[in-house]
Amino acid sequence: MGSTWSLLAPLKGLGEDVHLLGGEPHAASTAGTFPEESREDISAAETAGLGFHSCSYLKLFVGEVVRDKIAITDRTIKEGYPKPDLIWTTHLCSQHSKWYQEVSRRLGGIPMYAIDMIGGGNAEKDPKIVKYACDQIEEGIRWLERVTGRDFSDELFIKAARNEIKVLVLWGNICALNRHAPAPLDERRLIALFPPAMVDRTTDETVRLYEALLKEVRYMVETGQSVVPDQRFRIVYFGIAHTYGHPEIARILRDAGAEIVASVYTFGTCGNFRGFENGKWSWDPLDPAWADELDLSTRRDAISALVKIALGWPTWQGVRSYWALEQMARAMVTEYKADGLLLAPSRSCETDFRNGYIAMQRIFKNQIPTVEYDTDQVDVRKMDLPGSQRKTELFVHLMEAHKKGGA
Amino acid sequence: MNNDNILAGLDVGHVNTKAMIMRGQEILGYGTVRTGFDVVAAAQTALNHALDNVGISGGELAGIVTTGIFRDMIKVPSLDVTGTEPEYVADAKGALFLNKNSRTVIDVGGNTHKAIRYDQNGNLLDVIQNDKCADGLGIFYTTIAKAVGLSEQEMSELALKSTKDVSIAIQCVLSAEAEAIDLMCQGIDIADVANAISRFIVERVAAMCTYMSLTKEIVVAGGLAKSQAVIRHLPSLIKQDVSVLDLPEYVGAIGAVISYGGGK
Amino acid sequence: MTKKGSNAIIEHFRHTTENTHEYAKSLQGKGQLLAGYMCTHVPEEILYAAGIIPVRILSSHVSQAMTRSYIHETYCSFSHDCAYQGLQHNYDYLDLIVTSSSCLHMSEAFNVWVRFAGFEQKSFLIPYPHIIQTKPAAAFMEESFGEFKQFVEELSKKSITDDDLERAIKVYNHNRRLLKRLWEFLRRDNPPITGPEVATVTLASQVMDKQECNQMLEQLIQRLEAESGKAPPGVRLMVTGGACDDLGIFDLIEHLNYTTNLIFIDSCTAARYFWFEVSEDRPDKLEAIAEGYIGRIPCPAKDNVPGTGEKKRFRFIQQFIEDFKPDGVVFLYQRFCSPQPMDIVALKPILDKLGIPSTELELDTTLPIIQFRTQLEALVEIIKGVTP
């Protein structure tokens, strides 16, 4: 169990019977599948003492532990929260690994290991940050052996590591294809298609899935196809995919032929790109063949490659560096030929996914139609849906006016 | 539509519903009622008040145009609505009608506030609206006034008598209300508290305005624009001069009429 | 400095907390370079070794809403206030603003200064572990501190030698020991100094030249050791939580309708600031500083022992409870703080087991004195078993 912003491959070194429960995807899918249960979970966490303004993913997850129930994506709610053998996670914000401290405590003290990835712009190029993360993972692997009593298999780990890197590169390639007009995929498809990369990107199956998907999307581009052919407006979206209200917002946009063709969260939480070169961000994809050719001869090689690729995620970069987020936004607006920038900071999230988006208005408002609406990952109370719908209508209006030479 | 046509504009907001009757460039009459829970009834009542003030019947209207947050909810047979306009479009048109030199209107309403930039024809250039935490400033003002047993007008007059700046926790209207009461219990002069509240409100508006370039001339509309105690802080906060429009709460209703060919 | 009664010395400290800009500018007037810092994870010794006086950025407690368009509403008021002061150019006289990557709210306040308040060319962000107990944390910090030292040398145009660092370490350690001695007075039933006064002195020390501060502390402690108790013993209350530079709340705790004594404050504006030492006379000074800072009472944002998920801060809190013997605990934290409440949910059961009642107060720009008074008196009544 743990955050899927962690490196997952080390866990696979423990054997082929390791199953992952990722905090963020679990919370998101629970909220999307069981909205009523989710509200109960969040309330239960708050009654148990967690703050109203705490991360709602965290509260939903802890709430399930409090209620001793868990939602499964086969659309059932199981009584009895399953006790994990261990927690392997990371610490991307000030409360992130504290999420799992709370879960561990409530379940009687589950062994947990949180890796401090540091993050930030150009982090993967900073040798001391890379070394720091690698050293922790080396230590973490020794801990995994002690706490499970298993021997760590470098063979399984290295295989999983290569798969993990490959999937991240493949997803980046798929997202980069949306630079074409019409963009082959819309945000709805992107959100539907990235969970395997979030949930478990270490398996051969996941690699095959994204290789097939890349092939298909390339074909769509070659033949001029799109899942939404009528794309009058191309939108860049900086927001977390919120389960509540997102379809409503998408509907308003769809009716106007406005499509989100690029999104930092969907692209950057499990996808890699060329990143910073000479101070400017590039959303150019990496060559998948590069992942195949990586020298992962030793455990340290694999750890190092994994750490660099994770630190290279747009989201790991942007979450702690306002300037990285700004550069990414500028590049995304240009490369994806945006007609508008839609910002949806999440009220529960204290990272730059909330704060950085506020500053985006200041940068882009005088350049292209830019509108911000407040939302939340999974807490419906924090989303003002009517207000957000009105703002989205305004956004469409501004894009129309801009097209006519006004706004 | 020719100059003889009499048009009505209805601006149905969270707090108040405003009706405006115009013939060409002439404002004939207007009326305001609390919106309450029955939006259609509020719209009908506001319209009737305006019609009574003018001395005409509804049958003499050539059309009714609606705007405001509930504009789509009053498209009922009894009202025979001709058309609707989003509030930001109506605000721009209405502000331009009332001040031909204006190019930005800051609308401070009961629940939402926005800044709208437009060109010489009233066409939208850019709009910014408040975020969720800044909702309800006008409602808050009314609530605080009631809490201290005053009308909004009295509260505003009291705030103008303030002699000292006091600080008030301002994360949101809820905490500000609790803080205001706390300060009064501590014996702080109510005029100073009223001024702190007024300043809090306009600071939220001003903070929003910093996102967008505001083109001169800048005018202010909305119900809260009538409060000098609130608006007097605005110029120093946005570092630009502003002027309050005549009939500031009717700007939207006027704009709705203009949008449908009125005002000529 | 002439000998003064303890009250006069305490007043001097209080005056400093109420006039931080005046004090800082007086240092500048003497030719000192000044570096503002926003988080206590900044290794002040490195600045001090270069002859730069570190000055903590504190709140002005003036309500404003302008920062809502720079930092989200749901960030703590401390971060908003610090950001606002930057935007208002209240600290333009500083030669440098520095922070260590810490909690996100204060990081954003720092970002505002860098991006929008003109500090881009005179700022430094020290990469710092987000989990302080990781095995390689010290090595990482040492390297990071090395980069910071280089930056400071360029800024001050002088080389920082090992002797300079050792001198700074000793000055700072001396300050920490003196502050500790001051807080130790509060163990007594009838101390010669009150909790709010100790809090005032501690806060002042965070904006003062440490040598000057040490001289005043020495005098103060000397006087106090000769003085008798100041206030009758009452209900002993301990505060634990986050940054709080509003001394009014501490005054309030000792001015309820019951006799109460504020006996300890576990926060980064109080004990967590100084309750550690850096090893002296070590050959590798940066390593010593790194290890010293790791040994601090952890900030909740950084507290997660790998392997067990333990919150090491709780060990300290339990030790403080044992040493200072509070009758009740006040959780005091900024509204919207994210890591503090996560600690509170785990700390409360421990206090319950120890039979220590508690209450929670959320801080904002200003203090709702009446509301807080009600809550605090309710806590005291629970402790005293007051029946209606």
Could you read off the pLDDT of A318-372 as tens digits, one per residue?
888 889 999 999 999 999 999 999 998 888 888 766 667 777 888 898 899 999 9
Stretch C159-180: mean pLDDT: 98
Q: Which residues, at least 6 apart from A378, have a Cβ–Cβ distance to it below 8 Å?
A: A27, A28, A30, A31, A38, A42, A56, A57, A60, A242, A243, A244, A348
Q: What span, in angstroms and rounded, lies between the C-alpha atoms of A239 and A221?
A: 26
Burial of residue C272 (CB within 10 Å: 0-12, 13-18, 19+) is buried
Stretch A93-110: mean pLDDT: 94
Q: From the CA of C290, how many Å to the nearest CA of chain B? A: 37
- Return the pLDDT at B171: 67
- pTM for this prediction: 0.94
- Chosen from B129, B165, B170, B211 to mutate, greatest number of chain C CBs within 10 A: B170
Whether the per-residue pLDDT at C4 is higher than 70: the answer is: no
CATH 2.120.10.30 fits C27-164, yes or no: no
Stretch A140-161: mean pLDDT: 98
pLDDT > 90 fraction of chain A, expressed in percent and rounded: 78
- Return the pLDDT at C1: 36
Chain A neighbours (≥3 Cβ pairs under 8 A) are B, C
Whether the per-residue pLDDT at C3 is higher than 50: the answer is: no
Q: From the CA of B212, how many Å to the nearest CA of chain A? A: 6
Which tokens in the block code for residue B119?
A: 């060109």
**Contact between B132 and A401 using a beta-carbon 8 Å cutoff:** no
**Contact between A406 and B89 using a beta-carbon 8 Å cutoff:** no
- Residue A263 domain flag: yes
What would the DSSP string read from start to end of A131-185? HHHHHHHHHHHHHHHHHH-PPP-HHHHHHHHHHHHHHHHHHHHHHHGGGSSS-S-
Question: Considering only CB atoms, which chain C residues are within 8 Å of B207?
Answer: 65-69
Residues A36/A39/A44/A46 CA torsion (nearest 10 deg): -170
Q: What span, in angstroms and rounded, lies between the C-alpha atoms of A18 and C204?
A: 54
Whether the per-residue pLDDT at C2 is higher than 60: the answer is: no
DSSP type of residue A130: H
- Chosen from C268, C345, C351, C364 to mutate, greatest number of chain A CBs within 10 A: C345
- Return the pLDDT at C354: 96
Compute CA distances A110 → A10, A86, A88, B186, C1, whole Å: 18, 6, 10, 49, 57
Give me chain C's average pLDDT, please.
95
DSSP type of residue C231: S
A384: three-class secondary structure by DSSP: coil
- Residue A145 domain flag: yes
Question: What CATH number did the domain enclosing A41 receive?
Answer: 3.40.50.11900
Whether the per-residue pLDDT at A113 is higher than 60: the answer is: yes
Name the more confident of A362 and A212: A212
**Contact between C131 and A50 using a beta-carbon 8 Å cutoff:** no
- Return the pLDDT at A383: 83
E runs forming strands in chain B: 6-12, 16-23, 26-34, 63-67, 83-84, 104-108, 113-118, 124-129, 218-221, 243-244
**Contact between A387 and B213 using a beta-carbon 8 Å cutoff:** no
Question: Considering only CB atoms, which chain A residues are within 8 Å of C339?
Answer: 94-95, 98
Question: Are C94 and C118 within 8 A, CB to CB?
Answer: no
Neighbours of A146 (CB within 10 A): 11
- Return the pLDDT at A358: 77
Question: Considering only CB atoms, which chain B residues are within 8 Å of C368?
Answer: 169, 178-179, 182
Task: State the alpha helices, DSSP H only, in chain C.
Answer: 6-18, 20-29, 44-49, 77-87, 104-116, 137-156, 162-184, 195-205, 210-226, 247-253, 271-274, 285-294, 313-324, 339-354, 369-384
Cα angle vertex C18, ends C15, C22, to 5°? 85
Question: Considering only CB atoms, which chain A residues are within 8 Å of B215?
Answer: none
Instruction: Specify the DSSP element, H or E, that contains C54.
Output: strand C52-56
Counting the structural domains of chain A, the total is 1
Whether the per-residue pLDDT at A271 is higher than 80: the answer is: yes
Q: From the CA of C371, how many Å to the nearest CA of chain B? A: 7
What would the DSSP string read from start to end of B60-73? G-SEEEEESTTGGG
Question: With an 8 Å Cβ cutoff, is B189 touching chain C?
Answer: no
**Contact between A401 and B129 using a beta-carbon 8 Å cutoff:** no
Of the candidates A98, A105, A350, which has its C-beta nearest C104's C-beta?
A350
Which tokens in the block code for residue A165?
A: 């890197």
**Contact between C62 and B167 using a beta-carbon 8 Å cutoff:** yes
Instruction: Specify the DSSP element, H or E, that contains C332.
Output: strand C328-334
- Assess whether the region C27-164 and the region C226-384 belong to the same CATH fold: yes
- Return the pLDDT at B2: 45
Question: With an 8 Å Cβ cutoff, is C366 touching chain B?
Answer: yes
Question: Considering only CB atoms, which chain B residues are within 8 Å of A347?
Answer: 132
Question: Considering only CB atoms, which chain C residues are within 8 Å of B185?
Answer: 370
Burial of residue B238 (CB within 10 Å: 0-12, 13-18, 19+) is buried
Stretch A32-50: mean pLDDT: 94
- Residue A1 domain flag: no
- Chosen from B131, B133, B209, B212 to mutate, greatest number of chain A CBs within 10 A: B131
Cα C186 to its chain centre, rounded Å, is: 18
Question: Considering only CB atoms, which chain A residues are within 8 Å of C304?
Answer: 91, 97-98, 101, 112, 114
What would the DSSP string read from start to end of C237-256? EEEEES----HHHHHHHTSS
- Return the pLDDT at A244: 66
Question: Considering only CB atoms, which chain C residues are within 8 Å of B212?
Answer: none
Cα A324 to its chain centre, rounded Å, is: 16
Q: Looking at chain B, which residue has its C-alpha nearest residue C61? A: B167
- Residue A277 domain flag: yes
Q: Which of residues 343-402 of A touch C (CB under 8 A)?
A: 345, 347, 350-351, 354-355, 358-359, 361-362
Q: Edge to edge, what strands does the sheet with B104-108 contain?
A: B124-129, B113-118, B104-108, B218-221, B243-244
Give me chain A's average pLDDT, please.
93
Q: What span, in angstroms and rounded, lies between the C-alpha atoms of A20 and A37?
A: 22
Q: Quickly state the pLDDT bin for C22 (edges 50, 70, 90).
A: very high
What would the DSSP string read from start to end of A97-128? HHHHHHHHHHTT---EEEE-----TTGGG-HH
Report the relative pairing of strands A280-285 and C52-56 from DSSP bridges. Answer: unpaired
- Residue A218 domain flag: yes
Which tokens in the block code for residue C234?
A: 């009452």
- Return the pLDDT at B263: 66
**Contact between A95 and C135 using a beta-carbon 8 Å cutoff:** no
Q: What span, in angstroms and rounded, lies between the C-alpha atoms of C90 and A190?
A: 47
Question: Considering only CB atoms, which chain C residues are within 8 Å of A347?
Answer: 72, 74
- Return the pLDDT at B143: 86
Report the relative pairing of strands B104-108 and B26-34 from DSSP bridges. Answer: unpaired
- Residue A340 domain flag: yes
Of the candidates B129, B133, B211, which has its C-beta nearest A365's C-beta?
B211
Long-range contacts of C13-20 (CB under 8 A, 24+ apart): C13/C200, C13/C201, C13/C204, C13/C205, C13/C216, C14/C200, C14/C204, C14/C247, C16/C204, C16/C207, C16/C208, C17/C58, C17/C200, C17/C203, C17/C204, C17/C207, C17/C245, C17/C247, C20/C55, C20/C58, C20/C207
Q: How many CB pairs under 8 A join B and C?
A: 68
Three-class HEC string of C98-163: EEECCCHHHHHHHHHHHHHCCCHHHEEEECCCCCCCCCCHHHHHHHHHHHHHHHHHHHHCCCCCHH
Question: Considering only CB atoms, which chain B residues are within 8 Å of A369?
Answer: 126
Cβ-based interface (< 8 Å): residues of B facing A: 69, 86, 88-89, 112, 119, 123-129, 131-133, 135, 210-213
Q: Which CATH number fits domain B6-89+251-259: 3.40.50.150, 3.20.20.150, 3.30.420.40, 3.40.50.10490?
A: 3.30.420.40
Question: With an 8 Å Cβ cutoff, is C95 touching chain B?
Answer: no
Which tokens in the block code for residue A151?
A: 């021997």
Tokens 């095995």 locate to C135
Stretch C140-163: mean pLDDT: 97
Chain C neighbours (≥3 Cβ pairs under 8 A) are A, B
Domain boundaries defined on chain B? 6-89+251-259, 100-244
Domain boundaries defined on chain C? 27-164, 226-384
Question: With an 8 Å Cβ cutoff, is C255 touching chain B?
Answer: no
Instruction: Specify the DSSP element, H or E, that contains C96.
Output: strand C96-100
ipTM of the complex: 0.94
Q: Which residues, at least 6 apart from C319, have a Cβ–Cβ distance to it below 8 Å?
A: none
Q: What span, in angstroms and rounded, lies between the C-alpha atoms of C21 and C36?
A: 11
Tens digit of each residue's pLDDT (9 = 90 or more) over A70-89: 999 888 999 999 999 999 99
Question: Considering only CB atoms, which chain A residues are within 8 Å of C342?
Answer: 50, 54, 95, 98-99, 101-102
- Return the pLDDT at B3: 47
Of the candidates C101, C105, C307, which has its C-beta nearest A111's C-beta?
C307
Q: What span, in angstroms and rounded, lies between the C-alpha atoms of B29 and A331?
A: 53
- Return the pLDDT at A46: 95
Q: Rounded to 5 degrees, what are φ and ψ at B120? A: -65, -15
Whether the per-residue pLDDT at A221 is higher than 60: the answer is: yes
Which tokens in the block code for residue C24?
A: 């800082």
Residues A48/A52/A54/A57 CA torsion (nearest 10 deg): 80
- Residue A349 domain flag: yes
**Contact between A97 and C131 using a beta-carbon 8 Å cutoff:** yes
**Contact between B196 and C369 using a beta-carbon 8 Å cutoff:** no
Domain at B100-244, CATH homologous superfamily: ATPase, nucleotide binding domain (3.30.420.40)
Of the candidates B170, B171, B211, which has its C-beta nearest C69's C-beta?
B211
Cβ-based interface (< 8 Å): residues of A facing B: 347, 361-362, 365-366, 369, 371-372, 374, 382, 384, 387, 390-391, 393-394, 397-398, 401, 406-407
Stretch C248-257: mean pLDDT: 97
Residue pLDDT tens, chain B, 264 long: 444 689 999 999 999 999 999 998 899 999 999 999 999 999 999 999 999 999 999 999 999 999 999 999 998 888 889 999 999 999 999 999 999 999 999 999 988 999 999 999 999 999 999 888 788 888 888 888 888 888 989 999 999 999 999 988 766 667 777 888 888 888 999 999 999 989 988 999 999 999 889 999 999 999 999 999 999 999 999 999 999 999 999 999 999 999 988 766
Three-class HEC string of C33-45: EEEEECCCCCCHH
CATH 3.40.50.11900 fits C226-384, yes or no: yes
Question: Are C340 and C242 within 8 A, CB to CB?
Answer: yes
Question: Considering only CB atoms, which chain A residues are within 8 Å of B133?
Answer: 374
Q: Rounded to 5 degrees, what are φ and ψ at A61? A: -65, -50
C288: three-class secondary structure by DSSP: helix
Q: Quickly state the pLDDT bin for A133 (edges 50, 70, 90).
A: very high
- Residue A195 domain flag: yes
Whether the per-residue pLDDT at A104 is higher than 50: the answer is: yes
Tell me which residue range forms the domain holding A30.
9-403
Tokens 């261990």 locate to A86
Q: From the CA of B150, how many Å to the nearest CA of chain C? A: 23
**Contact between C365 and B170 using a beta-carbon 8 Å cutoff:** yes
Tens digit of each residue's pLDDT (9 = 90 or more) over C56-108: 999 999 989 899 889 888 899 999 999 999 999 999 999 999 999 889 999 99
